[in-house]
Amino acid sequence: MPPQTRAVPVPGGRLHAVAEGDGPPILLVHAGIVDLRAWDPIVPLLVAAGHRVIRYDCRGFGESTTEDVDYSNRADLVAVLDAFDVGRAVLVGNSRGAFISLDTLIERPDRVAGLVWVGGGISGYDAPLRPDEEALFSRMEALEEGADPDAIADIDVAVWVDGYNQPAGRAPAAIREAVRAMDRPLYEPGRVRGRPIPLDPPASERLGEIRAPILAVLGGLDVPNIELAAARLEAEVVEARTVVVPGVGHMVGMEAPERLADLIVDLVRPLGTWG
């Protein structure tokens, strides 16, 4: 089946979405420093494994647009499923995308068959930071407030691509440059991102409600506080487990697409058919 592209209308915006392949559907939700192109290495692997693979640019990212409005990331995700006539999907979210996917699983469990949570967070849960992590994140916040797109992109690549306390250039140059090209435009003056409406009550208070399987995937070179969020999932979600992929940073799907694709397929194999 050739790729299908949709411009999905949502209140105050329009989402760019693409579907490829055929079979039980998997929806990919990108990290907050990239757009749907970050999934390029993994899509053909999942299609070859017999899945319909859907991905989209979140509001204000890539080719998706938004007005300066309050909106729900969960409702946007469901709107993408509706646009492709998908009843239930397995969600794969990276970083901010994992956060959104977990919230959606809680708010709309009827639409989610399972979740692969890659280097994400849990709404309402602030994992304790080491002193050096706290200093790093404070520096990153200061750069964002300074609104220098080049400086922000540089530190994002250093932390989220090369890895925590890793030497500059540790990750392959092609991945570093691809992330930088997607990240820098997000901070250009005048970029409208909208105002996400948080899940209420947040996920941290509702993990015990989850009955779908969750696989938490961590890059071995990612920031340490993400390990604490994954441990929280394992402790409170009945069907949750964690896998660490050594030698890669936050962008696991870009650095180790074959390994992540294998982990996704392993999670979904026992689920049979959904959609």
Residue 147 confidence (pLDDT)? 79
Task: Specify whether 203 is located in the same domain as 265.
Answer: yes
Residue 194 and residue 109 share a domain: yes
**Alpha-carbon separation of residue 242 from 131, 159, 245, 275 (angstroms):** 25, 22, 10, 25
Considering the domain architecture, whether residues 200 and 219 belong to the same structural domain is answered as yes
Q: Which of 160, 187, 214 lies at the terminal end of a domain, its last residue?
A: 187
CATH number at residue 221: 3.40.50.1820
Mean pLDDT, residues 170-182:
98
Percent of the chain with pLDDT over 90: 89
128 pLDDT tier (thresholds 50, 70, 90)? confident
* Beta carbons of 171 and 163 less than 8 angstroms apart: yes
The pLDDT, as a whole number, for residue 137 is 86
Domain match, 15 and 145 both: no
Number of structural domains found in the chain: 2
CA neighbor of 173 nearest in space, from 160, 184, 162: 162
Residues 70 and 36 in one domain: yes
pLDDT single digits (tens) 232-258: 999 999 999 999 999 999 999 999 999
Pairing assessment for the beta strands 13-20 and 52-56 based on DSSP bridges: antiparallel
What distance in Å separates the CA atoms of residue 60 and residue 51, rounded to the nearest whole number?
Answer: 28
C-alpha 169/C-alpha 237 separation (Å) is 37
Instruction: Kindly state whether residues 114 and 170 are assigned to the same domain.
Output: no
pLDDT band at 146 (very low <50, low <70, confident <90, very high): confident
pLDDT surpasses 80 at 19 = yes
Find, among 109, 94, 73, the residue nearest to 199 by Cα: 73
Query: Does 30 share its domain with 106?
Result: yes
Separation CA 117–CA 108 (nearest Å): 16
- Regarding whether 213 and 102 lie in a shared domain, the answer is yes
Other residues' Cβ atoms within 10 Å of the Cβ of residue 231:
14
Q: Both tokens of residue 47?
A: 């299609």
Task: Determine the structural domain holding residue 113 and report its residue range.
Answer: 4-128+190-271
**27/141 same-domain check:** no
Q: Do 59 and 112 share a structural domain?
A: yes
Give, for 128, the enclosing helix (H) or strand (E). Answer: none
Integer CA distances (angstroms), 184 to 19, 31, 41, 157, 229, in order: 26, 14, 21, 10, 27
- Regarding whether 159 and 58 lie in a shared domain, the answer is no
For residue 219, the one-letter residue type is G
Q: Which two tokens stand for residue 266?
A: 């392993």
HSE at residue 152, side-chain half, CA atoms within 13 A, is: 21
Cβ contact 30:57 at 8 Å: yes
Is the CB of residue 148 less than 8 Å from the CB of residue 124?
A: no
